């Protein structure tokens, strides 16, 4: 490939800054690709863009320079301190490719106008850099769920509503998804926001021959749940309750402490657990904002289960992760994989990428091992 664009919605956030910093480090040979799934042997023959073929730009509603966010991430243990000096000028170059994002509060005019400008931003970026294609990845803050309206299932009605400056028929993530499609770009939703997950947009993607993937990157507690739950099932052990608590700081903690936004996340987590176990369980789940934890996220899960002759047993785990460190390499992986799918002519939901998501689009499979196998199978086909 001559060049592939990675256009990040929320380009100045922690996940994005980590992904960009890491990409620059990988390209310069300053770090090994730890955490990058697409660097595993199973992908050796898949025609993926190389690290030095990826060019980054994006939208964001804030204007903090990447370098400043990177310094903050270094203080939090996400980025190694010595890296900052080495990639500073490259970060500034990426900064120059970031355009103002869409936010209903600050935007004047209709959503159609907003989308049009975003399309122009993306197309301009693609042409300026002579890129074969651009993958749009949403890594912006989680939005609250939105109520379904008829326009979400009818393209003409949607576009007419978007043209009405007095309405905000789409949440911002879906405006981005729409703009990506209209720019002819694959779209990946790494957040639990609505994004492309509206019937009208999924259909539009299919009609335009564009692939998409999502949603809600699987990086911590849910990752473990989709690994552990199949064990109980395979061993015919009966899970009686599965309680979870998540402590998180950073912007994510503040966002998800807002119950309406947490709702998106909690719903997507609960759907998965019942699907994995094949039955409902008592599953209280909390997300707490604990600012002093910074970028760190700590999850505690308590699983109570029943074995032979009713014997009662428990499993507890504590996961202490750096969310941005876990998410960033997957964002790069998804950009590469979505680009390869696009090059291959695939369109619609890429169910084979389910392993990356808490709430996979195009797949009902939640079991991590089965999802991994499906990813490898799909990659193997691309490699032919």
- Looking only at residues 52 through 91 of this chain, which bind a second copy when binding is defined by CB under 8 A? 75, 77-81, 83
Cα gap 186→134, rounded to integer Å: 7
> What is the token pair recorded at 384?
């032919």
Residue span binding a second copy (CB under 8 A) among the ranges 55-63, 117-125, 183-191, 369-377:
369-377
Q: Among residues 144, 184, 230, 362, which is the contact residue for a second copy, using CB under 8 A?
A: 230
Q: Work out whether 360 is an interface residue with a second copy (CB under 8 A).
A: no
Residue span binding a second copy (CB under 8 A) among the ranges 92-100, 106-114, 149-157, 235-243:
235-243
Q: Which of 213, 207, 249, 242 shows the shortest CA–CA distance to 228?
A: 242
Cα gap 105→250, rounded to integer Å: 23
CB of 126 to a second copy, least distance (A): 27
Nearer to a second copy, 168 or 325 (CB): 325
Cα gap 121→18, rounded to integer Å: 23
Task: Give 221's Cβ-side CA count (13 Å radius).
Answer: 27
Cα gap 114→122, rounded to integer Å: 13
Is residue 55 within 8 A of residue 5, CB to CB? The reply is: yes
Q: Work out whether 169 is an interface residue with a second copy (CB under 8 A).
A: no
Q: Work out whether 182 is an interface residue with a second copy (CB under 8 A).
A: no
Q: Work out whether 50 is an interface residue with a second copy (CB under 8 A).
A: no
Cα gap 63→44, rounded to integer Å: 38
Residue 188 parent element (H or E): strand 187-189
Q: Omega of the bond prior to 212 within 30 degrees of 0, cis?
A: no
Binding map of a second copy across residues 117-156, x = CB under 8 A, - = no contact = ----------------------------------------
Nearer to a second copy, 160 or 304 (CB): 304
Q: Work out whether 236 is an interface residue with a second copy (CB under 8 A).
A: yes
Nearer to a second copy, 312 or 384 (CB): 312
Cα gap 144→154, rounded to integer Å: 22
Binding map of a second copy across residues 316-335, x = CB under 8 A, - = no contact = xxxxxxx--xx-xx------
Return the SS3 of 317. Answer: strand
Q: Scan residues 269-298 and list those touching a second copy (CB under 8 A).
A: 282, 284, 286, 288-293, 298
CB of 212 to a second copy, least distance (A): 22
Nearer to a second copy, 170 or 273 (CB): 273
CB of 151 to a second copy, least distance (A): 36
Q: Work out whether 384 is an interface residue with a second copy (CB under 8 A).
A: no
Q: Phi, psi at residue 220, to the nearest 5°?
A: -145, -110
Q: Work out whether 252 is an interface residue with a second copy (CB under 8 A).
A: no
Q: Work out whether 51 is an interface residue with a second copy (CB under 8 A).
A: no
**Bridge pairing between strands 98-100 and 133-138:** unpaired
Q: For residues 372, 377, 378 and 384, what is the CA-based torsion angle, rounded to 10 degrees?
A: 140
Cα gap 181→189, rounded to integer Å: 13
Residue span binding a second copy (CB under 8 A) among the ranges 59-67, 107-115, 185-193, 314-322:
314-322
Q: Among residues 3, 27, 28, 35, which is the contact residue for a second copy, using CB under 8 A?
A: 35
């Amino acid at each position: 490939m001559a060049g592939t664009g990675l256009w990040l919605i929320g380009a100045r956030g922690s996940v994005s800054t980590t992904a960009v910093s890491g990409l620059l480090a990988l390209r310069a040979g300053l770090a090994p690709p730890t955490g990058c799934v697409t660097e595993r042997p199973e992908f050796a023959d898949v025609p993926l863009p190389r690290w030095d073929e990826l060019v980054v730009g994006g939208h964001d509603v804030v204007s903090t320079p990447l370098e400043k966010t990177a310094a903050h991430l270094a203080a939090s243990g996400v980025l190694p301190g010595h890296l900052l000096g080495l990639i500073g000028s490259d970060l500034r170059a990426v900064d120059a490719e970031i355009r103002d994002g869409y936010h209903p509060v600050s935007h004047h005019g209709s959503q159609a106008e907003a989308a049009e400008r975003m399309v122009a931003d993306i197309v301009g970026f693609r042409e300026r850099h002579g890129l074969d294609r651009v993958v749009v990845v949403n890594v912006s803050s989680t939005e609250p769920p939105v109520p379904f309206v008829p326009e979400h299932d009818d393209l003409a009605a949607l576009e007419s509503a978007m043209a009405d400056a007095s309405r905000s028929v789409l949440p911002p993530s879906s405006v981005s998804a729409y703009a990506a499609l209209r720019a002819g770009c694959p779209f990946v939703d790494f957040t639990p926001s609505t994004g492309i997950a509206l019937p009208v947009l999924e259909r539009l993607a299919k009609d335009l021959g564009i692939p998409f993937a999502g949603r809600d990157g699987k990086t911590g507690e849910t990752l473990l749940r989709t690994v552990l739950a199949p064990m109980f099932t395979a061993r015919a052990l009966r899970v009686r309750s599965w309680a979870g608590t998540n402590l998180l700081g950073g912007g994510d903690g503040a966002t998800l402490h807002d119950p309406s936004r947490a709702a998106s996340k909690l719903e997507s987590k609960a759907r998965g657990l019942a699907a994995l176990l094949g039955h409902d369980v008592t599953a209280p789940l909390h997300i707490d904002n604990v600012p002093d934890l910074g970028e760190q996220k700590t999850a505690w899960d308590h699983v109570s289960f029943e074995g032979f002759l009713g014997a009662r047993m428990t499993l507890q785990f504590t996961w202490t992760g750096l969310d941005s460190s876990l998410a960033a390499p997957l964002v790069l992986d998804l950009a590469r994989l979505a680009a390869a799918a696009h090059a291959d002519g695939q369109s619609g939901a890429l169910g084979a990428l389910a392993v990356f998501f808490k709430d996979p689009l195009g797949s009902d499979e939640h079991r991590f091992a089965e999802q991994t196998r499906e990813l490898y199978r799909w990659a193997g086909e691309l490699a032919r």
